[in-house]
Amino acid sequence: MWDDSFPSFLIGLREGLEAGLVVSVLVATLVRAGARSRLPQVWTGVLAAIALSMSFGAVLTFTAASLSTTAQEAFGGALSIVAVAFVTAMVFWMRRSARSLAGDLKEKVTEALTMGAGVLVLTSFLAVGREGLETALFLWTTARAAKESAGPMAGAGAGLVLAALLCWGLYRRVLRINLTRFFTVTGAVLVVIAAGVLGYGLRDLQEGAVLPGATVYAFDLSGSLDAGSWYSTLLQGVLNLTPTMTWLQAAGYAGYLAVVMTLFVRGVRDVPAAGERVATTPPRPDSAPVAQTVGPAPARRRLLPVTIVAVVAVPALLAGLVVALAHPKPAAGETVAVSEADCGRGFTAPEPGRQDFRMHNTGNQTSEVYLIDPSSNAVYGEIEGLAPGTTRDLVATVAGGTYAWRCVPADGKAVTSKAVRVGGAAGAHAVAPVSERDLAAPLKAYRAYVNQGLATLVTRTRELSDDIRAGHLDTARADWLTAHRTYASLGAAYGTFEDFDQKIDGRPDGLPGGVHDKGFSGFHRIEYGLWHGEPAAGLKGAAQQLADDAAGLRKAFPHQDFDPSDLPLRAHEILENTLQFELTGDTDQGSGSGLATADANLAGTRELLAVLRPLLTPRAPRLLPTVDADIARLQKLLDSAHHGTGWTPVDRLGPAAKARIDGATGQLLEDLSPVPDLLEIRKSA
C-alpha cells in the first residue's frame, strides 16, 4: 500500500542520498588525487556499513519476536522514541551541513590519503554506517506501525534506488539540484512523520504498561470516520494518526510538532540568500589532481581482500550471535500429562518467556487442555481434541504470575492441576473465560431481535403474495426486495433456522431440474419468475407457500434450540456467507440485488455485535473500534451502489469498485475472526 510505503520511501531517499553523496565525494576526491588504487578501501567501508545496518535490523526483529506481548509493546515503543530522536537530529544536522558537506569530506579524505588503509576504510564506514543504522531503525518502527513489512520495504527500496540514481547523476554532472532546498523540504515532511511515529511509540509504551493512561482517550472517531477513505488512509498510513488516540499520544504528537517544526522553520531563515552560491555537486572525477599520493605497498594490496572479508563478515557474525542468544527456541522437554487422574503431572515452574509444553494424553478419553490462571480462570493457551495416547505441543508465553493446567475429558469432570508460581513482571496475555451464563443475556437480546424481525417478515411476505395474486407484478418486485432484505437482516447463516432456511431462501444449486425443479421454492424461486417474465398465475402457489413458511418459522422459532456457543460464530458466519454467495452473484436470479442483500446482512452483523459488545470490550479493547471502522468503510461502499430504490448489480460493478467491496468485506471478516475464540465457552472445574 502506498500509505505504508511513503514514509519509508522518504527516509530511504533522504538517507540514501546523504550516504550516496558521501560516497560520491570520497570517490571523486580519490580520482582527482590520482589514487584510484585506494577505491577498494572506500568500498570496503561501505560494504561493512551496509552489513552492520542489515544485521542491526535483524537483531531488532528477532529480539522483539522473543519477548512477551507486553514486552514487545514496550520494546517497540522505546525504539520508536529512539528512532524519532535520530531522525530529528539527522534533519537538523543535514539542514545545517548540506552546504559544506563536500568541502569537509574532501579535507578528511585528503588527510586519510597520507595514512594507512584502515583510516580510509574507517572514514567511509563511519560516514555511511550512521545513515544505515538510522535507516534500519526507522524502517523497523514504520514496518511495525504498519503491521506489515512489504509496503515499508518496497518504499525504502524505491527511495534507495532513486537516491543512487541521483547520486550517480550528480557524480557525472548529469544533473544539478539545490541540496539545501531539497533537505529543507524533505526535513519538514519528516518532522511531521516523526511526530506520528512518536505518537505510535507512546501508545506502545502505554500498552506495554510503561506509561499510564492507556484507556484515557482524547477522542474516538472510529464510528464516524471511514477507515477506507483516502483521507483516513493518509492520516493512518503516512502520519500515524489513528481515529482513536489517548491524551498522552495527542499531547506528544502536538507538542513535538509545535516545538520541532518551530525550531526547524526558524533555522531555515539562516540558509544562504537567493543569490548566494550553493555547492550542489561533488568535484568532477576527471579534474586535475590536487595532491600526489603514493599508492599502497604490495603487502597492503595482498591484505586488502582479507580486510574486505573481515570487515563485512564480522558485523554479520556478531548479529547472528546476538539473534541466537536473544531469540531462543521455545523451551521443550517438559512433558505434561493430560487426564482426569494425571492432569498436570510433570509440570514445574517454567522460566519466563516462550515455552513449548508437550501435552500427552495419558487417559482413555479425548480431552481438551488449557493453561490457565487459577485465580481468574483466564486462558493462556489451549489444545482441543487431544486423543488418548497422543502428544501435541502447546506454545505459550509465560511471565510473572500463577499457572495451572485444566484438563477437560469429553465425558468426564474437568480437573485442575496444582498451581505453580513464576517470578518476574507480569505481562503474558490471557483471555477471560466465558460461560453459558455470560452468554445468556446477549442470546436473549438477539432472540428478541430475530423474533421481532420474523413478525415483520410475515407481514411483508403476505403483502408480496397479495401483490402476485392481484397481478401487480411491478409492485411485487419492489415488495420482494423489501421482504428479502428483512429476512437477510436476521442472520440466517449455517442453518440458523433449521429446515425453514432452505424452504424460505434456498438456492437451485444441486437440484436435478435447477430453477425449474419442483423443489425450488422461497424467495429465489419467486425472484426468478418475477425477473424472467413468468405470469402471475405461475407464481401464486410459490408466493403463498413462502408466506406460509414465514409464518411457520415465526411460530417455531421460540421453541428452536439455539446453542449459546453458536452466537459468537454468527458474528463471522453471516458475512462469510455474504462474501461467498451475494458478492459473487451466485444467488442472483435476475433481480441484481446482491448488494442490497449484503447491506441487510451487514445490518444483521451490526446488531449481533451490539449484543456481544459488553463481553468483547473487556477482553479485546482494541477489537471493536477496529471492527466499527471496518463496518463504516463497507457501509459507505455499499451506499455508493444504492441509487434511490435501485442497486447496482454485482456483475455491473467496475473492477475497482468490486475489488474495494470484496477487500473491505475480507478485512472485516479477518478482524472479526478472533470473536469465536474470545467468547468460546470453556468448561470449568
Ranges 3-17, 300-314, 612-626, 628-642: which has the least confidence: 300-314
Residue 648 CB contacts under 8 Å (≥ 6 apart), including other chains:
592, 595, 641, 642
467 touches 431 (CB < 8 A): no
Residues written for the chain: 685
For cell 544505515, name the residue: 132
| pLDDT average, residue stretch 194-204 | 77
Q: How far apart are CA 344 and CA 405, in angstroms?
A: 6
> What confidence tier does 349 reach under pLDDT thresholds 50, 70, 90?
confident
Is 465 in contact with 544 (CB distance < 8 Å)? yes
Burial class (CB in 10 A: 0-12, 13-18, 19+), 485: middle
Mean pLDDT is lowest, of 91-105, 163-177, 288-302, 548-562, for 288-302
In the structure grid, which three cell numbers stand for residue 627, read together? 471492527
How confident is the model at residue 149, as a pLDDT?
55
* pLDDT band at residue 294 under the 50/70/90 scheme: very low
> Average pLDDT of 559-580?
86
pLDDT, tens digit, for every residue of 585-636?
Answer: 999 999 999 999 999 999 999 999 999 999 999 888 888 999 999 999 999 9
Q: What is the mean pLDDT of residues 462-468?
A: 96
- Given a cut of 70, whether residue 350 has pLDDT beyond it is yes
**Which among 61, 62, 70, 619 has a CA at the least distance from the CA of 399?**
70
Determine the straight-line distance between the first and last CA of the chain, rounded to whole angstroms: 48
Whose cell is 579524505? That residue is 109
pLDDT at 519 over 60: yes
CA distance 228 to 234: 10
Assess contact for 166 and 177: CB atoms under 8 A.
yes
**580 pLDDT exceeds 70?**
yes
User: Helix (H, G, I), strand (E, B), or coil: what is residue 408?
Assistant: strand
Identify which has the larger pLDDT, 230 or 220: 220
Q: What confidence score (pLDDT) does residue 167 get? A: 72
DSSP label at residue 565: T
pLDDT at 344 over 70: yes
Instruction: Give the residue from 46, 179, 41, 195 showing the smallest Cα distance to 120.
Output: 41
- Residue 498 has what pLDDT? 77
- What cell was used for 351? 522460566
Which of these, 249, 220, 140, lies nearest to 622 by C-alpha position?
220
pLDDT at 322 > cutoff 50: no
Could you tell me the pLDDT band of residue 334, with boundaries at 50, 70 and 90?
A: confident
Q: Which of 147-161, 430-444, 553-567 has the lowest mean pLDDT?
A: 147-161
C-alpha cell read off for 319: 548479529
Tell me the β-bridge partners of 62. Answer: none
**pLDDT value at position 289?**
40
Confidence of residue 309 (pLDDT cuts 50, 70, 90): very low
pLDDT (average), residues 480-498: 85
Task: Choose among 555, 557, 549, 571: nearest CA to 677.
Answer: 571
Q: How far apart are CA 413 and CA 46, in angstroms?
A: 66
Q: Which residues of 20-56 are buried (b: 16+ CB within 10 A; e: fewer)?
A: bbbbbbbbbbbbbbebeebebbbebbbbbbbbbbebb
Average pLDDT of the chain to the nearest whole number: 77
> 107: Cβ–Cβ under 8 A, 6 or more apart, which residues?
none
Helix, strand or coil, per DSSP, at residue 255: helix
**pLDDT tens per residue, range 105-164:** 555 555 555 545 555 666 667 656 666 666 666 666 666 655 555 666 777 677 778 877
The share of the chain scoring above pLDDT 90, in percent, equals: 29
| Res. 216: pLDDT tops 90 | no
From CA 273, how far away is CA 384, in angstroms rounded? 73
The predicted pLDDT at position 371 comes to 93
Q: Judge contact between 355 and 398, C-beta under 8 A.
A: yes
What share of the chain in percent tops pLDDT 70? 64
- For residues 7 and 14, give the distance between their C-alpha atoms in angstroms, rounded to a whole number: 11
Which residue is listed with cell 477489537? 623
Report residue 320's pLDDT band, with 50, 70 and 90 as the boundaries. Answer: very low
Of 18-32, 296-310, 632-646, the one with minimum mean pLDDT is: 296-310
Confidence of residue 338 (pLDDT cuts 50, 70, 90): very high
User: Of 347, 339, 323, 343, nearest to 396 (Cα)?
Assistant: 347
Predicted pLDDT of residue 307: 45
DSSP 289: P
Q: What sign has the CA pseudo-torsion 420, 426, 427, 430?
A: positive
pLDDT at residue number 362: 92
- 79 Cα distance to chain centroid: 19
Please tell me the distance from the alpha carbon of residue 121 to that of residue 128, in angstroms, as a whole number.
11
Cell of 28: 571523486
Q: pLDDT for 415-425, tens place per residue?
A: 999 999 988 77
DSSP state of 297: P
Look at the block and give the residue holding cell 513449548. Answer: 356
Instruction: List 610's β-bridge partners, or say none.
Output: none
pLDDT given at position 279:
42
Asked if 213 and 247 count as a contact pair (C-beta separation under 8 A), the reply is yes
At residue 241, φ and ψ (nearest 5 deg) are: -95, 120
